[in-house]
Structure formats: C-alpha cells, structure tokens
Amino acid sequence: MSIVTPSGFRDVLAEEAAAREAITRAVQDLFASRGYVPVETPTLEVMGVLEAGGRVPATPFKFFDSRGDLLAMRPDVTLQVARMGATRLAAEPGPLRLRYTQRVFREADSDAREGARELTQMGVECLGEEGPAADAEIIGLFSEALATAGVEEFSLAVATVAPLRALLDRSGAPEAWKAAVLDAYHASNFVELDRLTDVADPALAGLAAGTAPAYAAAIRALPRIRGGRDAIEAARALTAPLGCAGGLDDFERTYELLAAAGDGARRVLVDFSAMSSFDYYTGIVFAAYSPRLGTPLGSGGRYDRLAAAFGADRPAAGFAFYLEQAMAAAADGDAPAARPLRVAVPKGALNADAIDALAAAGLDVTGLADPGRALVVSNPGVDYIIVRPSDAPAFVALGAADCGICGKDSLLEAAPDVVELADLRFGACRFVVAEPVGAAEAVAERYRRLGSIRVATKYPRITRAHYARTGVQVEIVYLHGNIELAPLTGLAERIVDITATGTTLRENSLEVVEEVLGSTARFFANPCAFRTDDRITALAQALADHAATADYAPIPGSSQPGGPAS
Ligand SMILES: Nc1ncnc2c1ncn2[C@@H]1O[C@H](COP(=O)(O)OP(=O)(O)OP(=O)(O)O)[C@@H](O)[C@H]1O
Ligand SMILES: O=P(O)(O)OC[C@H]1O[C@H](OP(=O)(O)OP(=O)(O)O)[C@H](O)[C@@H]1O
C-alpha cells in the first residue's frame, strides 16, 4: 500500500488551514452583508445535468453508480445552482441571492504539470434579477471579494457576448462555421479566427458558404477591441451598421454604474476577447487576472438561458473564484508591473528566424544569437528565455514566460491554455504519414490480419487526432527523434512526422501516403499576461506586420504562402 494522497490532492496543515478559514469567513461575511444566503450542493452530480449547460470543464472523476447512473464529481458549482433554481427553488418568487464555498474537482490544467485536482471555489449566484444594475452588482461584488481575500493587484476583463451572438445569428453562415468560430473564440486563437473570417479564401469554400463578408469582418475585429468606455463605442461603431449592437446600451450602463462606484472602473478593462470556456453565458462575461499568476483568479457572467435547460426560465448571473489562486496572488513578491517582458525563444531550427522577427518588431536582441551556455539573455526591458521548441508552450502557459514563439505543431501537441496571436509564417513544414517505398501491400495486409498498424511519431496527440478523424486503428510508438528509423528497423509500419524539403524521406526510401496538416511558427501569450500587459498586444502587431512583408518559404505543397495549419 502506498501511503500518499492521490495525485492532485493534498492535506492542508494548520497554518494554511487557519489562513484559508480567515479568508473564507471574511469573504462569506461580505456576501452575507449584501443579502446572499448560504447553499451547499452535492459532491456528485448526474453527468447529463452538467452537460445540459454546454461545455463542461474536464472532470477527472466519472463513474456509474449501482443504479447505472453516470455521475461526476462536480467540476463547477454554477450549473448545480441553476439546477437547484429550476427544481427545489422553482416556486420561490425571488430574487434569490445565493452564496457558497465548495470544493470542485478538475483535471489538472496542463499536460506539462500535474496540478491540483481539488480546488476551493467561492462564489455567488443571483437568480431572478436582470439589467445593468444587477450586472454591476455582481461585477462590483466580485472585485470587492477579491480585495477582501487579500488580492491587491488584479484586473477584471469584462465583455458582453450579445454582439458576437447577434453577428453569428445574422451572418447567414452554416452551423459548422459558427461552431468553428466559437471554438476559436473559446480557445483564444486569433490566428484561427482570422483564417475562418477570411471568407474570400477558396480553402473555406464549403465551411463558410453563404457567410456575409461584412459579418465575418466584424467577427474578426470584435475580439481585438479593448479599453475603457471608448471600447464600448468602438464595438458599437463596428456592430450597429449590421444591426448587431443590441446589448451594448445595457453594457455601457453597467460600465457607468461600475465607474460611479469608484474602485470598479480602476479594475475594469473592457475586452471583447474575454469569452469564458463555458458557452452558457448570454450577456456580460468577465474574468479576473492577477499579473502574478499564469491562470485566472476566477470568472463569471450572465447565464439567463441556463435554467431553461432544466425546465425553468429565470435570469441569472454569478461568479466564482478559487481560494487557492487568491492566496497565491496575495503572496508577497516583486511587483510584476515593472519587470521586463519575458519572451520564450526557441532554440534549433526556428531560432534564427525568431530572432530576426523579434529584432524587426523593435526588440533589443543583442547577444541572443550567440548566448554561449546562458539560458536567459537579459536586455533592457526584455528577458529572453531560451527553450526547446516543444517546451515553449509549457513555459508560457504556466506563466514562467509572458509570451513565446514555437511551431504550430508544438502548440497542437501540447494543447496549452494560451492566446495564439500571430502566424509568423516562417518554419513552414507539413505533417505527413509516410511508409517505406513499396510497402503498401504489406501494410494493408497487416491491417487486414491484425486490425491495426504501428505508427511511430514524436507527436502522439497530433497522430491520435489524425487517426481518430480517419477511423483507422493504430498503435502509437512514441519516439524522440530520427523517427524515420522506425519503419526501416521494423519498429513500426508507418511514421507521422514533419517534412519540409522531403530530403530525409527520400534518403531513407520513404514515401508520403497521407497529408495530416501544415505548420508555421506562431507567437502566443499567457492569457493573464495578455490581459494585463499591453506590451504583448503591441509586440503581436509588430510581429504580424513583419510577417506580412517577409519573404518566407510557403508550406511545401500548399497553395497558400506560409498558410495556416488546419
Ligand atoms: N525540416 C524542417 N523544416 C522546417 N521546419 C521544421 C523542420 N523541422 C522542424 N521544423 C519546425 O521547427 C520546429 C523546431 O524544430 P527543431 O528541429 O529545432 O526542434 P527539435 O530539436 O525537434 O526540438 P523539440 O524536441 O523540442 O521539438 C518544429 O517544431 C517545426 O515547427
Ligand atoms: O523534409 P526535410 O527537410 O528533410 O525535413 C524533415 C526532417 O526534419 C525534422 O527532423 P529534425 O531535424 O527536427 O530532427 P529530429 O528527427 O530529431 O526531430 C523531421 O523529423 C525530419 O526528420
């Protein structure tokens, strides 16, 4: 027997437990003073209830009970409160102001780190109220709660989903295109959003058929709008001519109420990219970011239609934040505002072009091309962190770097929570499936006989996704390099690997049997850094401007110069 806690779970000892208790009491007292009453929700929820809300956060613990119901340990409390409001509280006239402190169970944030799987959420839900005053109450209370928890430095990125929903509804676009746009929004993938909204591109012929170009252009521009009241004006100027500005008047009124409350406006940043990973929100959405942390403190929004999914129509809004995140953000340390921008720079094949691009974007790259054995190069205003390209996503997602550069292949493989900001167009290569020349019959025979083929790769996630799409059974052999060796030595029948010139395949008598995807280098940022540090947006723009004029080789075999990955 191993005498340890399960992965991602831990004991909390007295000193920390006392601090947690004090913060919890202070925050719950604040909620109580505003008329919120306590509720508790069950640890387990029927999976179908969680799924009724749309996208659910990954929950690591799902199982069938003795009655055959599929249950999950709650990954979120809002869905449960909406269910409660639509069932046992359905007859209560309301408005209902509910507060809670609950443990939630989540899959660790990334493959790169085995994080906590049990976290403490504190939050409120207000059922039965709507309009700007109700929205301002919730956002203002969120700000006060974080301050009460000891978080001094944070910003609240606030938006409304109303204009995006209206643009999508009126765009005339096929459902598949709308779903792809929402996915790009949810993933904070500006590069993919730009690709999808380039509806004149023949490559999108089927997916975007019938999409009105003016709506596509507005959908592309909207998430780039951020600022104060001027940002609301800009969103109105963009969407009103298309009849999609509904909801912005209320949003502006909410902003005014927050501004009148003083503290609110100092913290609030209007940012139309601030779409949460949940898609049940119908009006305001917001998330709190600390410049000290790589992941948000918490988030919330208005979800008027969620209760309807459970059979009762009732407007609702709320928020929740993580106690553990608030305590980490409140910890002492250097004020990050004054620190240099930390950029993860790939060594290897992408290094020289990355340095040229950063120099063209105006950064001081002195010493970066020849750092010797140094792994960090510090110049005025910027620290370069020299990483293996496949590690760049982890450094940025976990907040050790503010932003970075690596191939789209490395991003797809790591699937990190980052904001993909620019296609830098260098490092063009393509992923292919290859096998020894003349082996086709033997591979087909093996598949007939055994029902699967062995595929060697350095990219198991990309490979698994490709075969899931094509419906072929494979056994993945994970290698770290010289993948071409696998079929030559009998370790596997095929490989999934990068090719650029095709020389390596040719010299090892391998031929391409399928195309998987194309890849170019990307500039990407930590979501918190992106929303708290303006230098990142400026750098992304400068890098994109440079990429637009630079003369890079296109993705081999692609008609689009430096074209995007699929
Ligand atoms: N032959 C190639 N031509 C063009 N681009 C390439 C080629 N091979 C790789 N790339 C691109 O350059 C990136 C870095 O490649 P490099 O060979 O430096 O990485 P690596 O040594 O394999 O590092 P890691 O093991 O961290 O992935 C790849 O992720 C891909 O985006
Ligand atoms: O089509 P080509 O221009 O010949 O390029 C293809 C080669 O480049 C990459 O290897 P890399 O240099 O990254 O080494 P690795 O095998 O160690 O990953 C890839 O894995 C191929 O081996």
Instruction: Tell the residue nearest (CA) to atom 17 of ligand 2.
Output: 481
Residue 279 within a domain: no
Q: pLDDT tens digits for 116-134?
A: 899 999 999 999 999 999 9
Cα of 120 to ligand 2 centre, how many Å?
45
Beta carbons of 293 and 282 less than 8 angstroms apart:
no
Cα of 105 to ligand 1 centre, how many Å?
36
Residue 559 within a domain: no
Cα of 543 to ligand 2 centre, how many Å?
26
- Ligand in nearest proximity to the CA of 348: 1
Instruction: Name the pTM for this structure.
Output: 0.92
Ligand 1 pocket: which residues have CB below 6 Å?
A: 348-350, 388-390, 407, 409-410, 427, 429, 498, 500, 519
What ipTM does the predicted assembly reach?
Answer: 0.95
Atom of ligand 1 nearest to the CA of 351: 18
Instruction: Tell the residue nearest (CA) to atom 30 of ligand 1.
Output: 407
Q: pLDDT tens digits for 406-427?
A: 999 999 999 999 999 999 999 9
139 & 236 share domain: no
> What distances in angstroms separate CA 156 from CA 227, 234, 306, 330, 360, one per listed residue?
12, 19, 23, 16, 32
24 & 140 share domain: yes
Give the domain CATH number at 392. Answer: 3.40.190.10
- Ligand in nearest proximity to the CA of 345: 1
304 & 346 share domain: no
For residue 566, which of 520, 524, 526, 500 has the smallest C-alpha distance? 520
Beta carbons of 62 and 85 less than 8 angstroms apart:
no
Rounded Cα distance between 319 and 316, Å, is 11
Residue 43 within a domain: yes
The verdict on the CB of residue 503 being under 6 Å from ligand 2 is: yes
Cα of 498 to ligand 1 centre, how many Å?
8
419 & 435 share domain: no
226 & 343 share domain: no
Residue 478 within a domain: yes
- So what's the pLDDT on residue 555? 80
Give the domain CATH number at 325. Answer: 3.30.930.10
- So what's the pLDDT on residue 395? 96
| Residues whose CB is less than 8 angstroms from the CB of residue 447 and which lie 6 or more positions away in sequence, other chains included | 453, 472, 473
Longest dimension (CA), the chain: 77
Atom of ligand 2 nearest to the CA of 483: 16
Atom of ligand 1 nearest to the CA of 391: 26
Atom of ligand 2 nearest to the CA of 501: 3
Q: Which amino acid type is present at position 344?
A: A
242 & 303 share domain: no
- So what's the pLDDT on residue 558? 59
Residue 493 within a domain: yes
- Ligand in nearest proximity to the CA of 496: 2
78 & 198 share domain: no
- CA 275, 277, 279, 281 dihedral sign is negative
Beta carbons of 499 and 411 less than 8 angstroms apart:
no
E strand intervals along 15-160? 37-38, 44-46, 62-64, 70-73, 96-105, 118-127, 155-160
- So what's the pLDDT on residue 307? 75
Peptide bond into 389 cis (omega under 30): no
The verdict on the CB of residue 498 being under 6 Å from ligand 2 is: yes
List helix spans (H) across 204-309.
213-221, 229-239, 248-260, 263-267, 306-309
Residue 257 within a domain: yes
- Ligand in nearest proximity to the CA of 407: 1
433 & 419 share domain: no
Cα of 483 to ligand 2 centre, how many Å?
8
> What distances in angstroms separate CA 69 from CA 44, 48, 84, one per listed residue?
11, 9, 19
23 & 143 share domain: yes
Domain that holds residue 364: 339-406+415-423+538-549
Q: Which helix (DSSP H) or strand (DSSP E) does residue 143 occupy? A: helix 132-148
Residue 7 within a domain: no
Cα of 285 to ligand 1 centre, how many Å?
38
- So what's the pLDDT on residue 559? 46
The verdict on the CB of residue 5 being under 6 Å from ligand 2 is: no
Ranges of residues in the chain with a pLDDT under 70 are 55, 109-114, 263-265, 275-279, 332-337, 558-566
73 & 114 share domain: yes
90 & 200 share domain: no
Rounded Cα distance between 416 and 420, Å, is 10
Give, for ligand 2, the residue of 463, 484, 496, 498 to mutate: max count of ligand atoms closer than 8 Å to Cβ.
Answer: 498
Residue 288 within a domain: no
Provide the 8-state DSSP code for 295. Answer: S
67 & 137 share domain: yes
> What distances in angstroms separate CA 43 from CA 66, 178, 331, 414, 481, one per listed residue?
17, 35, 30, 31, 45
Annotate 98-109 with b (16+ C-beta within 10 A) or e (fewer). Answer: bbbbbebbbeeb
Tally of domains within the chain: 4
Cα of 349 to ligand 1 centre, how many Å?
5
Instruction: Tell the residue nearest (CA) to atom 5 of ligand 1.
Output: 427
The verdict on the CB of residue 507 being under 6 Å from ligand 2 is: no
Cα of 530 to ligand 1 centre, how many Å?
26
Cα of 355 to ligand 2 centre, how many Å?
21
Give, for ligand 1, the residue of 498, 504, 508, 523 to mutate: max count of ligand atoms closer than 8 Å to Cβ.
Answer: 498
